[in-house]
Structure 1
Amino acid sequence: MRVLQIIDSLEAGGAERMAVNYANALAKEIEFSGLVVTRKEGALLNQVNKDISYLYLNKTHTIDLKSIYKLRKFVIDNKVEVVHAHSTSFFTAFLLKLIYPSIKLIWHDHYGDSEFLSKRPLLSLRMVIPFFNGIIAVNQQLKIWAEQKIHLKNVIYLPNFPSEENAISEQTILQGIKGKRIVSLANLRVQKNHFLLLEVARKVKISHPEWTFHLVGKDFEDDYSKKIKTLILDYNLENNVFIYGSRQDIKNTLNQSTIGILTSQSEGLPVALLEYGLQKKAVVVTNVGEVPLLIQDGINGFIVNATESQLFYELLVKLLDNKTLRSDFGKALQKTINNNYSEVTVIKQYLDWLDNF
């Protein structure tokens, strides 16, 4: 089988990480695994394995004929059978289909605002998706939505899966005290609800002042980012909450951390949570998207509604005060990941699905 992944950028985000993860994982399983980036390269480029056939289109506008014909040549030269388009790259795949009709297309829906699907634009998807052979949804809500709203029958739910990063030179050094660091792997976006994190940090500063919070994720330098930084100053958290921006040495960063948290108000299946589990971190996370299927409250982590800042704080304190509980949660979450969300498990389901096309 010969499969090509398409993604619009290689900035550090969940969909982008999964495009790279699929390309890398498939290289070990099939004849050809490729990766095409349409608009913007980024930090994840150094996570692409050397044996992956890679192409950067440098697409400058929505209908860029030069880049589409460049993609067509790449597909033909490498005898690609299936193009796997992630997120918004579906439109590039659709344009390819118009000039190369024999190609099979699948769309990987990573839509993160699963709690707000009723507000999702439909027109462009309903026009384009009929040209696709199937859809992959990252959670059950998206699967149901695709079946009911897009009316495509061949829809499969495949969870995201974590992947060990390639060796990289960047070595992040976290501030704070060893053994007393709380990490949040989340780009600075409204969906990630860092304001809940800051409310919790204010309380932790009073009860456990030696513990610190470490925000790792892309900083878009927008109004949301500015408000976060303003609140850190207003709450006098300059020595308790640290922002690092996008980092690639996630394993190294997590090895310096003790607890992982997610404060999102909406999610699909967060890759960050899988990465926490892979590195045996105890977690407190919000009850959104596919998270409740992964976290069994009180068994492999704590889960709380996104509006309950006091309960979030109280559950976090339980972990701060109990090293044994942290260890037990971390081991249990890693076992859950290995049993149900491993690369091997997901890729097998994926290839079995493609075999039925």
Structure 2
Amino acid sequence: MRILFFAESLIGGGTERRLLELAGYLKNNRWDIKIVITDNIIHYDYAFQLKIPIIPMERKVLKKDPTIFFRFYRFCKRFRPHIIHTWGKMTTFYAIPASLLLNIPLVNSQVADATIKENLQGFNGFIWRINKRFASVNVANSQAGFNAYGLKSSQGRVIHNGIRSQRFENLTSKQMVKQKYGIQTPYAVVMVASFTEKKDYHAYLTLSREIYNIRKDISFVAAGHGPLYEAFRDKVSAKGPETFIFIGRTNDVEDIINCCDIGILLSHGEGMSNAILEYMALKKPVIATNAGGTKEIVKNGVNGYLIDNKNINGIVSLLIDLIENPNKREEMGEAGRKTINRFFTVEKMGAAFLDLYEIILENNNLN
């Protein structure tokens, strides 16, 4: 079977990671896969390791380039995929004419968050309504996102993210990773997230400063990049604390999480966070914002804590309690690993997509 993935790029984001994990699973199941991207940016080494053809279809003049409609149609006419699977707002929109004219089912995986105000208004809302109407099925990676976007069971399905266990094997020693990134304290917490408005690095910085006023033996690691990265780094450089460490864009995310003691994610609404799944896969207790799809992963008091970003004092208390109680960290970490093994493996995600593809193809043949 032939499948065509269509995404804006393969930058170091959660959606792109999910796309590649699924592509690897499908390749192992003997699917013929091609990936088309509208920005020739590839941050994941795994994209090259898969040896799946990646075809740049770059925008020539405008950011929303109308020529992509025709170029994508021509590509589909040559490749003749059985399914088009899109991974973003504009790529889904660009794929609609090819899907309709060539009678190719369209799977739309643009719902990867649960913050909808800006996504359902104005131009974004217009595009979403068109995409939802013409996609064969709309896939959300969390029940929270499914509900937030107003999807019905007849229009879509929830398929949670899944991760490969092989990513967390044969890691670099914790001591070497700490030396590499200048983590000099006995303890460290980490937040893996892009520097965008949706991630609450301001709360993370405030937390680090409150902790620094109490004790100096905990580093706060920030692993990620994005449009707000430079300004935020300058802000911390000017006022500290010295225990706040910027990693930037990295392919060492597994090693970095592994050398830390606690995983944190403060945000303004997630779909299904890959960072939280990675924390749990490496047996780290999680402290995360009680919003969006996070509560579908984190069970409060079992494998982590669900918190309110504004309650910094409460987060301080939870974090210090975890640092001072290694047995509790270990118990929560073990519970997190069990959560991953039971619900969030790439095999479980891949099987769910295969089931969905089979249903879509069967319905398409009947029609």
- 5 Å-filtered alignment, 1:89-168, equals 89-97=91-99, 100-114=101-115, 116=117, 120=121, 121-148=124-151, 153-163=154-164, 164-165=166-167
1:279-331 residue CA offsets vs partner (Å, 9 max, x unmatched): 11122111111111211111111221122111111111111111111111111
How far off its partner does 1:146 sit? 4.2
The code of the aligned residue for 2:23 comes to A
- 2:286 is matched with 283
Q: How many angstroms apart in 1 are the aligned matches of 2:18 and 2:119?
A: 25
1:249 is displaced (CA, Å) by: 1.9
- How far did residue 55 of structure 1 move? 1.3
User: Do the aligned partners of 1:4 and 1:23 also contact (CA within 8 Å) in 2?
Assistant: no
Q: Supply the distance in 2 between the matched residues of 1:166 and 1:84 (Cα, whole angstroms).
A: 28
CA contact (8 A) 1:179 1:257 kept: no
**Identical counterparts, % of pairs:** 20
| 1:203 to 2:183 alignment | no
Q: Which amino acid aligns with 2:346?
A: E
Residue in structure 2 matched with residue 13 of structure 1 by the alignment: 13
* Alignment match, 2:351: 348
2:7 partner SS: strand
Is the contact made by 2:199 and 2:266 (CA closer than 8 Å) also made in structure 1? yes
1:354/1:103 CA distance change after superposition, 3 Å: same
Q: Number of matched residues?
A: 348
Quick check: 1:20–1:48 contact (8 Å CA) kept in 2? no
Q: CA deviation at 1:59?
A: 2.4
Aligned partner letter, 1:5: F
2:41 counterpart of 1:38 = no
Structure 1, unaligned runs of 5 or more: none
Report the AA paired with residue 162 of structure 2: F
* Structure 1 residues 351 and 272: alpha-carbon distance in aligned structure 2, compared to 1, 3 A threshold: same
Cα separation, partners in 2 of 1:157 and 1:136, compared to 1, 3 Å? same
When the two chains are superposed, the root-mean-square deviation of aligned CA atoms in Å is 2.7
Q: Which structure 2 segments of 5+ residues have no match?
A: 361-367
1:256 equivalenced with 2:259 (yes/no): yes
Match of 1:219 in 2: 226
- Give deviations 1:226-269, integer Å, cap 9, x for gaps: 145315532x31x2101121111221222222211111122111
Say if 2:73 and 2:95, in contact at 8 Å, map to a contact too.
no
What amino acid sits opposite 1:226 in the alignment? Answer: A
Give the 4+ runs in structure 1 shifted more than 6 A: none
**1:52-79 Cα shifts (integer Å, max 9, x gaps):** 23211122332343x5555445434444
Deviation track 1:55-108 (CA, whole Å, cap 9, x = no partner) reads: 11122332343x55554454344441111101222122124335x432111100
* Aligned mate of 2:321, from 308, 318, 323: 318
2:254 aligned with 1:247:
no
Contact 2:24 2:50 survives alignment (8 Å): no
Normalised TM-score (structure 1) = 0.88
